[in-house]
Structure 1
């Protein structure tokens, strides 16, 4: 894996000309929701090519997710929104990231216009790298073969990266990861990602029920499109200063109290302090059990004690899944 870039430029929905430093780069193109092992193969190829030729490596992606535009009534369960995507890209060693606005106007562009306007006029790309399943342009008529043929005819080198599979021979895909997270199958999801799934949020005030039980929590709401399985998790909690803390979390509707809106509640072990309004990240290590309703608060507290012991043991012996994961949280 390449050394992370010393500086990383993150540009979202650019309306002005792109920085001169982005021009003449190696450009990796894709939606990259998940930044999983298959995506990493594309991005690492871009970094290797850039370092070998003395160029910059840039990731070109899209926001919002195209399925959100085409099927607004069925918003996609996002794995890596913009900020998370940028964090992984930087850890992979890319020099920058451009997120183009994926709207009706962009979706209706011809493949030729995308190549000539974005790749040539705006980026002056020297080399383009994309995955085997990358499609672009109106009605997705731009195929990887089309990109290679047209790009090379216009003087851009194009590399198409083959499908990456797991040990079973199945393709590594965001669809499989989403389904695993919906099922509470955290270990399989994390293996496909190559790092443990994480998400960001802002700590909000709650009903303070956990504090009354001896388990104060930092509470977060997840996006409406999240289909993460409700239940109890072993987690690590990342503060804005980069510090990591072990914890146990409950995600759901609190059947012992109000059966209200879904909230992700993290009890951080051996921690005291005010976290309200702080933007934090949560890393999922293991799914412990379903959310339950108990016969009284004593039974609930006993189960929370058991959950905490199990979570501490899991986190104590957990090793990084990859060099990338080490870089993410170093």
Structure 2
């Protein structure tokens, strides 16, 4: 897999791909369906994606809370696992946002990327003020000798698979249902940072991982598994929120206590998968009450992660 972040300097060997268009946030079954449909239509061509960073919504509404299900490096890895060979990750900036639909097709897809075939969903819109639609795209591509496959959305009983649907489930506190939508547990990936070491004083040392550009799920305590940078997997319990008992409530954070683990995690990149929300965030009457509740949370998390069969 090759990641291309400069669309005006694409090497010759990357040209001629069949590309799927979209943000691919989450790489959920709907995205996989699009990629498989494209590969079935043009199995003779290298499979690629045209995606964006930052997400257009992040660019146009920077004041809004983060919405990302995953960060670009994770997205690239999961796309590669689906057989994508060329990832064209286009910088979405002020200049790019003002490209007309004509210029996007002719200057970006045709001249810069040299694509031979394109696939997208029926509602794909593009160009300045989303002025281009599927009919426009098909007409322009046909004139340039580029094929187009319009792929109907993959649906289930609740409707089309979508990143928005998964975000909503996480914000409502249903990571297990989000996992069903994704086909895998949802995880936050980040580097362990130094915290205030309050957890260690309570007898439950924690690794602090900034949420960064990830969407913030429902605040509370979760049963989690943690993948280390070397591939090892640990079980644990994590808190996402503002720690109302011991903090000033100004910053939301993720703190995870790994069961039966001794070691230095600072600077390591962890992937924390949420499995179940055990309880909502709440304030306790002092540190002793908080410590007792943390012990109960850990016991519940172990039971969730190791069910008796």
| TM-score, normalisation: structure 1 | 0.86
Partner residue in 1 for 2:9: 17
Separation in structure 2 between the aligned mates of residue 204 and residue 133 of structure 1, nearest angstrom: 41
Higher mean C-alpha deviation, range 14-23 or range 226-235: 14-23
Partner residue in 2 for 1:4: none
CA contact (8 A) 2:71 2:213 kept: no
Higher mean C-alpha deviation, range 248-257 or range 293-302: 293-302
Cα offsets for 1:9-62 (capped at 9, x unmatched): 1223x1652132321111111122232222221122234445x31x21111101
Report whether the alignment pairs 1:74 with 2:74. Answer: no
Query: What 5-or-longer segments of structure 2 have no aligned partner?
Result: none
Report whether the alignment pairs 1:257 with 2:246. Answer: yes
Separation in structure 2 between the aligned mates of residue 140 and residue 271 of structure 1, nearest angstrom: 50
Separation in structure 2 between the aligned mates of residue 295 and residue 209 of structure 1, nearest angstrom: 16
CA contact (8 A) 2:7 2:113 kept: no
Partner residue in 1 for 2:219: 230
| TM-score, normalisation: structure 2 | 0.92
Partner residue in 2 for 1:187: 176
CA change 1:109–1:224 in 2 (3 A) is closer
Q: Per-residue deviation at 1:230?
A: 1.0
Q: Per-residue deviation at 1:202?
A: 1.3
Q: How does 1:130-279 map to 2 (within 5 A)?
A: 130-168=120-158, 170-223=159-212, 226-260=215-249, 261-279=251-269
Q: Per-residue deviation at 1:227?
A: 3.0
Q: Per-residue deviation at 1:185?
A: 1.6
Report whether the alignment pairs 1:29 with 2:18. Answer: no
Report whether the alignment pairs 1:305 with 2:298. Answer: no
CA change 1:124–1:104 in 2 (3 A) is same
Q: Per-residue deviation at 1:128?
A: 0.7
Q: How does 1:85-124 map to 2 (within 5 A)?
A: 85-124=75-114
CA change 1:99–1:187 in 2 (3 A) is same
Match among 248, 269, 275 for residue 285 of structure 1: 275
Separation in structure 2 between the aligned mates of residue 158 and residue 88 of structure 1, nearest angstrom: 24
Q: Per-residue deviation at 1:317?
A: 5.2
CA change 1:232–1:290 in 2 (3 A) is same
Query: What 5-or-longer segments of structure 1 have no aligned partner?
Result: 1-7, 319-330
Q: Per-residue deviation at 1:248?
A: 0.8
Runs of 4+ in 1 over 4 A off after TM superposition: none
Separation in structure 2 between the aligned mates of residue 241 and residue 30 of structure 1, nearest angstrom: 31
Q: Per-residue deviation at 1:198?
A: 1.4
CA contact (8 A) 1:33 1:78 kept: yes
